[in-house]
Structure formats: C-alpha cells, structure tokens
Amino acid sequence: MTSAMSTISSSHPASADASTLETEVLIIGGGVTGTGVMRDLALRGIHCVLIDKVDLCAGASGGNHGLLHSGARYVSTDLDAAIECRKESELLKHLAPQCIEATGGLFVGVDGDDPAFAERFPELCRRAAIGCEELTVAEARRLEPHLSDRLVKAYRVADASVDPFHLALANVDHARLINGSIYRSHTELVHFEVIDGEIRSAHCRDRRTHAKLVIRARQVVNAGGAWAMDIAHLAGCTDVDLVYAKGTLLVNHDRMTRHVVNRLRPPGDGDILVPGGTVSLLGTTSTRIEHLDHVGPTVDEIDLIIREGSAMIPALAGARYTRAFSRVRPLLQGAGHAGDRAASRGFALMDHRSQGLTNFCTITGGKLTTFRLMAEKAADLVAGRLGNRQAGTTASVALPIGDAGRWTEPGAAPRQWYALGNPADMILCECEMVPQSAVDQIVAVPPGEAPQQMSIEAISLRSRVGKGPCQGSFCGIRVSSYLYDRGYYRDAAGLAYMRDFFDERFKGQRLVVWGQQAAQMELAEALHCGLFGLDALQAD
C-alpha cells in the first residue's frame, strides 16, 4: 500500500542534524482519540505518523475510570452526550469486545439523596432511549452485597468497563498492519514550520535521546487532549478555547463489585465505582485548574472520594488503596455557567480555516466512550482535504484481536501461561502473573513503533506489570534483571529505567501510603534505595 510514503533521511537541507519523516497525515497525541484517528485514516488507505510526547494514554485516556458509559450518567445534564454514549457504547461492545467487560451498571440512591431525582431518572433515560430497569433494594443488594444497608433506590443500566490501553494499542497495531503507519513515543512537538497558510513540517525532539526529527505531512491533526490548546498555539491558532478540570481517582486493591456502581444523583464527587480486572476505581472529583503542570491529587480530594464512595459502599471506608492519580479533562469553553460538571462533555472539531490554515485541525473535548465517533469526524475532514473519497469504516470493521493489547488484560497473562504449561517460562510479576514470555513478546513487537529500547515503564504500559498490590516494587526488579539477562539491557541504562519506573509508580502511591501500604512501601524503599542504591545512581 502506501508504506513507501514514509522515508527517513538524515541529511535534510533545512536542518542538517535532524532526520526527516514523511507521511500524509501527522497526528499529535497518542490518546484513544489520536490512535482512533490513525486507525480510521489507515482504513481509508491514508498513511499516518502518530506522535506522543510521553507514550500511549499518558493523559486523560489513561487516567479515567475505564467506564464505557451507557449514557445514563449524562441524562440529567447533557441529553446529546447521553445519546452519543448510548450509540457508541453499543457499537464498541460489538466491534471491540476484547477491550470491554460487560459488567452492567447500577445507579443507587441512599437515604438522604434527592428522591425527586430518583423518580425522574427512568424518564430521563427513556428520552435518550437508554435501557433502565428498576430493581428492588433487596435485588440490588443480592447482586452487590457490599452496597449500603441505607440503600433506597436502584436501577440497572448497560454500563461496562473498558481498557483504554488495550484500545489504543490495538488501534496503533491495526494501523501499522494496514499500511505501515508509524507510532513514535516520547516525541515532542517543538514548532511548526508554516508557509502560506500551510503547515509544511513539524519539528520534534525525542525526549529521551534529544534527537531532532522533522516530520513532513500534508495534513496535521491535533488530538492533544488537554494539551490541544498549547499545540494549536504553536500553529498560531487562538480558536481552541479549553478549560481544564482536574479529576482525581483512587485505585482500590480489591474488585469489590461486579457492576459499575453509580450514585443516583446529578454528577458529583466520588460517585462512581468501576470494577476493572482485579481492582476497582473510585472517583472522581472535578476541580478547575489553570495550568497543566504538576497536576496531582490532594489529601482532601482523596479523603472526600473515600467519604462519598463509602456512602454507597461502606467497605470503601476501610479498604486498601494502591494508587491515587489525577488527570485533566479538557472541557470546551463557554458551555454554560453551572459549573464544570454541567459543562458540555461533547467534543469539538475545529478546521482552523478562520485562523488562515488549510491543513490543520483540532479534535478535543469529548470522552472515552465517544472516542471512535470523534476520530471518525476528524478523519472525515482530513480525508476530504486530501481528496480521499472513501467513507470511514470504523463503525463496521471490528478491531482485530491481535497481540498488541493482549497483556494489558487482567487475567490474560496467567491464562496463557497455564495454557502453554512451560515450567521454564517463569513468572516475573507475581501479583499479576506476567511471565517472561509476555515480556519477550512486548519488547519484540513494539506495535507500530520504530525500534528503540523499551523502558520498564513502556513494558508496564503494555502489560499488567506493576499494576498489582506491590505496584511494581518487586516485578520491576525481576523484569529488569530478566532483560539484562537476555542481553536486551547491556549497561547502566537498565538501572535508570528501573529507577524511573519506581519514581513513576510512586507518583500515584504518595498520598495513599497508610495501613498495609506503609509496610509495603518501607520494604520497597529498603530494597530499592537501601540495597540497590537507586537513590544515588549518578554518584556511582
């Protein structure tokens, strides 16, 4: 197909020290939307290069509940968004079942919640054609024994949980297989070269090697999520107007429910618990912030989420939490004055013609559940501008079940390990049962990526390594030791990867180190710093 489109030359006249990559479409931002645009365009025969300044799902795509909304969440605040969610979640359940667990969802009211809202809820769902079945309190508590005994109302809806990492990895992998489209991690946009209303090239920098890279593309898609406004500014566009809402989530060490459990009230803090694999995610909060730097949870947010969550599920008050993290939701400006919860969760596609550019567009806002639709709209615009008349097919072509996202699925690694029954294939991550063969496969086939050495963090993103109760403190050592052993790491860089991985995992642990986690953390630090000396690597 068009894989010949991408050529790398190291002696481009414009910048002698940079290599050059040519493609039809450059996509900036490796979240679910950016990867969705990549796959959609590839299905239309269009070659893409996708870059992310960190790695896949490093922003809001990787920092949410992993909730595939039935739409019921939005029936009281945004009917259009609710309908979109309903349609998209039904599509994805058919097209990407490997990324989705059809848990079903409950909306539960407890003593003290507004009874009028509870009464109105079925009618609100009906308007969006969202299925909603009333359960008796006894039925609901039979389904979910952890629910509060102060439960007064319960409805069942078609919520599900979805693995955004699996989605993103599978999107990238599919695009690579179709036409050799390329994904590059740790590639940061530095500036655009704009001539005569056209972006001619994007000047980038590899954040790990500091190597320069020039990407020449006919079209550029800004799928930067919360960073979309900054990226648009680099192109001289001032029409992307976002506000930032920080959301904080907690990871509970146990899977406490089978269903997604939502609080039966207008969207608020700490009102959704989503089971995902062996753990549960509880959140969120919503706080307006001005800057994207140093976004992290606070003690007050964490305590608030636990307090609110335990109104639905009292056991959450004394549960063990392994992580707390925050990500930024990009919200579209000017959507009303009723606060960010009521602000539109809809998305916007901007063609930037008013800004004097003809080959640049921005897709932002929206939410995980509607990523496919967002990607399709952006791809329609880009394909049209390239004169490609093929219609998008992501609403009918199933996402292939390949190797790319295989190891992100909880339980997949142990199942395969048992099935193969090879005693020499040792388990490296004992919490999540990730064997050597999984690591082999991950480092051998970086989906769509130009070959480069994978850090422990990159392996963790593509597997369950570090996701269990030990948060990587043991498996990080074993995985790096294994990679040294097979000659993949050959120098001190492996130890630096190990240190960086622990530093990164720690960001999410910092404020939830109480109870058993304090013991775990002390042991980990004694090992990592006291024995290995990872706190003093540069001195040795």
List interacting residues with another protein (CB under 8 A).
298-299, 303, 423-424, 426-428, 474, 477-478, 480-482, 484-485, 487, 489-492, 494-495, 498-499, 502-503, 505-507, 510-511, 513-515, 517-519, 521-523, 525-540
Q: Which is nearer to another protein, 347 or 502 (CB)?
A: 502
Distances (CA, A) of 468 to 94, 251, 253, 350: 29, 10, 8, 40
Of 435 and 448, CB closest to another protein? 435
Residue number with CB closer to another protein (202 or 475)? 475
* Shortest Å, Cβ 277 to another protein: 24
- The distance of closest approach from Cβ of residue 330 to another protein in the complex, given in angstroms and rounded to an integer, is 25
Q: What DSSP string describes 202-262?
A: EEEEETTT--EEEEEEEEEEE--GGGHHHHHHHTT-----EEEEEEEEEEESS---SSEEE
In the bound state with another protein, the residue whose beta carbon lies nearer, of 111 and 303, is 303
Tokens of 12: 């481009």
DSSP 504-530: HHHHHHTT---THHHHHHHHHHIIIII
Distance from the first to the final alpha carbon of the chain: 51
Using the minimum distance from each CB to another protein, give the nearer residue, 127 or 510.
510
Cβ at position 441, least distance to another protein in Å? 18
Which tokens sit at 86?
Answer: 């309903």
Residue 92 CB, nearest distance to another protein (Å)?
A: 36
By C-beta, is 382 or 429 nearer to another protein?
429
Q: How far is the CB of 37 from another protein (least distance, A)?
A: 34
Task: Give CA–CA dist 82/305, Å, rounded.
Answer: 24
Residue 386 C-beta: closest distance to another protein, Å: 45
Which residue number, 391 or 492, has a Cβ lying nearer to another protein? 492
Q: Dihedrals φ, ψ of 462, to 5°?
A: -100, 15
* Nearest-angstrom CA–CA distance, 25 and 48: 5
Q: How far is the CB of 532 from another protein (least distance, A)?
A: 5
The rounded distance, in Å, linking the Cα atoms of 152 and 296 is 35
Amino acid making up residue 396: S
Residue 250 amino acid letter: L
